[in-house]
Amino acid sequence: MKRALLFALSLAAGVAAAAAHADEAVERGRYLSIASDCMACHTKPGSDTPYAGGYAISSPLGQIWASNITPSTKFGIGSYTEAEFSRALREGIRKDGSHLYPAMPYTAYAKLSEQDISDLYAYFMKEVKPVEKLAPQTHLPFPFSIRKSMAVWNLLFLDTSRFAPDPSKDAAWNRGAYLVEGPAHCASCHSPRALLMQEDAGKALSGGSLGMWYAPNITSDKVGGIGAWTDQEIAQYLRTGRVVGKAQAGGPMAEAVEHSLSRLTDEDISSIVTYLRSVPAVADPAAERPAGAWPLRGGSTAGEAAIRGTGVQLGNGQALYDGACASCHGTKGEGSDDQYYPALVHNTAVGAPTPQNLIATILTGVDRTVDGKHVLMPHFSAGSYVQPLTDEEVASLASYVRQEFGPGGDVSVADVKIARAGGPKPLLLKLVSIGLPAGGLVVVIGAIWFWFRRSAKKKRGG
Ligand code: HEC
Ligand code: HEC
Ligand code: HEC
């Protein structure tokens, strides 16, 4: 009798322990889903149905809609086994065997550990509410409509090796490397893309275009990258999206900060900083000074551009600046006293070698909420509560801002048109639009490139 009672008690304790264990897996999975920012792409902004899809990633090839990844068996991933879930995340293959486009960052998630995949699976299956709704479907133009072509791409470019810790480095460095290369997928935005849209591994994190935005060089280079930032500045930027007197996070980086980075533990943020410090420096020949170190004289005056001999369109640009921007950013670009409205002098978006982020900020504004603090800059495109600006106006305004508060140079009307059309088109797409049969081309160029790379490796003896 006593024995049976003891047995029942220990059984109950065992069940409770197993349940606690499962809860821990769900909690770890929840944290990992935040670190991996699954929400950013899989949730329609402003909707109350998390992970139900309805958000399109605009790729240079067209709009790619993220799937419903709630555990609905009909419209979501409810019928995925853990092995199938793992294959989707790390190899880019759906349950039905079809290939995902690399807009889903499986090239980064390939680095995820077995344990993390399993925890994520527990979280999605047990904690996320099923949403019985079909997400919009993707229709890319031919030949990209053929998902099979991704099989060739994967063969060439997908590195399916898991993350391997470097025993010569400490735990913080290894944790940072894992987060940056795996879950937090910094490279999918910050690494340049080569001809076939693969990340250019030789230049990891040295900057890449992202629609109309430009994800800057975040290597340890002191001029072209963030080598001159202090540890504290990098940590603060990742946690809050702003460093007074230096940089703010707008566009896709604002989303990464809002949904993901601001919600990581201090320890993880500091590991990321440790790792970033060690990323090999990649210089930017176009960068004369760090992006946050313009103009040459702190706080400009209206005459300075003329002194530097670049007084082009100043009249118009200045009038536009005074009318549209100065009320918040100050007539001399000094920002408001409390810097809620940031200075435009010593500002990386203004001082960067490319004017892309300045143009993008004018066209889309800034809207970011972190720790309940909301920052808002209106956009100057159609549908804004402020007067929209024409391409010509944006060009002369941006030229004025660059000349007065940044590195100088003219922003052309063509630059603005490209931004409005969704950013620079990659060479691959240009080839397709002039009628080259890109499908075959992709395979041939890919094969040649791969062969070169391999023979180059061999020559180096690797
Ligand atoms: C940068 C955007 C982005 C992020 C971040 C992202 N996904 Fe995706 N995901 C996509 C897109 C886009 C697709 C659909 C791609 C396609 O149609 O080929 C997709 C597809 C999927 C699929 C395939 C579902 C199906 O059957 O169609 C799964 C599973 C998935 N994602 C899970 C996740 C999980 C889990 C995370 C976080 C660990 C995540 N995704 C993060 C963009 C993203
Ligand atoms: C979805 C794309 C995306 C992802 C993911 C992303 N970034 Fe960014 N990042 C950007 C863009 C775009 C900017 C420019 C933002 C601006 O100026 O408003 C930026 C800016 C930055 C800056 C400021 C650079 C400067 O010169 O002002 C740092 C530092 C940075 N990112 C680090 C990271 C790290 C570290 C990760 C990964 C943990 C990461 N980012 C992930 C797109 C991204
Ligand atoms: C109503 C006030 C307001 C007006 C008007 C305004 N801004 Fe801003 N601006 C802001 C705020 C707020 C931020 C974001 C601050 C932050 O991120 O902490 C910002 C950020 C910026 C940034 C940095 C963005 C980034 O992502 O790095 C630039 C550049 C900028 N503004 C330029 C302009 C220009 C040019 C104009 C005129 C066309 C303008 N602003 C008009 C309030 C304003």
Lowest average pLDDT, out of 36-40, 85-89, 224-228, 293-297, goes to 293-297
pLDDT in tens, 190-221: 998 877 777 777 899 999 988 899 999 999 99
- The per-residue pLDDT for 311 is 42
Does any ligand 3 atom lie closer than 6 A to the CB of residue 125?
A: no
Q: Are 345 and 455 in the same domain?
A: no
Identify the DSSP state of 355.
S
Domain count across the chain: 3
Strands 242-243 and 247-248, bridge-based pairing: antiparallel
Task: List the one residue out of 87, 269, 95, 259 whose CA is nearest residue 175.
Answer: 269
Tell me the pTM. Answer: 0.89
**Backbone phi, psi, residue 101, to 5°:** -75, 150
- The per-residue pLDDT for 160 is 83
Between 427 and 371, whose confidence is greater?
371
CA within 13 Å, CB half, 172? 14
Q: Are 437 and 374 in the same domain?
A: no
- Take atom 35 of ligand 1 and give the residue whose Cα is closest: 38
Domain final residue pick, 78, 106, 131:
131
pLDDT in tens, 31-63: 999 999 999 899 998 889 999 998 988 776 778
**Substitution candidate for ligand 2 out of 178, 180, 186 with most atoms within 8 A of CB:** 186
Contact 188, 249 (CB under 8 A): no
In a domain, 71, yes or no: yes
Ligand 2 atom nearest to CA at 366 = 18
Q: Are 389 and 450 in the same domain?
A: no
Q: How far is residue 4's CA from residue 13's CA, in Å, rounded to a whole number?
A: 14
In a domain, 179, yes or no: no
With 90 as the cut, is the pLDDT of residue 312 above it?
no
CA of 327 to the centre of ligand 3 (A): 11
Domain final residue pick, 131, 165, 183:
131
Ligand 3 atom nearest to CA at 247 = 27
With 60 as the cut, is the pLDDT of residue 364 above it?
yes
Ligand 2 atom nearest to CA at 250 = 18
In a domain, 409, yes or no: yes
In a domain, 251, yes or no: no
Q: Are 433 and 328 in the same domain?
A: no
Q: How far is residue 347's CA from residue 315's CA, in Å, rounded to a whole number?
A: 23
Given pLDDT bands bounded at 50, 70 and 90, which one contains residue 425? confident
- The per-residue pLDDT for 315 is 60
Does any ligand 3 atom lie closer than 6 A to the CB of residue 325?
A: yes
Q: Are 362 and 436 in the same domain?
A: no
Residue 308: CATH number of its domain = 1.10.760.10
Share of residues in the chain with pLDDT > 90 (%)? 68
CA of 104 to the centre of ligand 1 (A): 5
- Take atom 12 of ligand 2 and give the residue whose Cα is closest: 215
In a domain, 187, yes or no: no
Ligand 1 atom nearest to CA at 100 = 18
- Take atom 39 of ligand 1 and give the residue whose Cα is closest: 38
Residue with tokens 């929209």: 388
Q: Are 303 and 376 in the same domain?
A: yes
Ligand 1 atom nearest to CA at 88 = 29
Cross-strand bridge partners of residue 370: 373
Q: Are 401 and 445 in the same domain?
A: no
CA of 448 to the centre of ligand 1 (A): 30
**Backbone phi, psi, residue 52, to 5°:** -90, 10
Q: Are 330 and 394 in the same domain?
A: yes
In a domain, 40, yes or no: yes
Domain final residue pick, 107, 131, 155:
131
Given pLDDT bands bounded at 50, 70 and 90, which one contains residue 127? very high
In a domain, 359, yes or no: yes
Domain that holds residue 357: 291-420
Q: Are 79 and 97 in the same domain?
A: yes
Q: How many helices (H) and strands (E) does the chain have?
A: 20, 8
CA of 93 to the centre of ligand 2 (A): 28
Does any ligand 2 atom lie closer than 6 A to the CB of residue 247?
A: yes
Q: Are 102 and 121 in the same domain?
A: yes
Q: Are 77 and 121 in the same domain?
A: yes
Q: Are 336 and 371 in the same domain?
A: yes
In a domain, 143, yes or no: no
Contact 356, 209 (CB under 8 A): yes
CA of 451 to the centre of ligand 3 (A): 47
| 3 state SS of 353 | coil
- The per-residue pLDDT for 313 is 45
What is the mean predicted confidence (pLDDT) over 100-108? 90
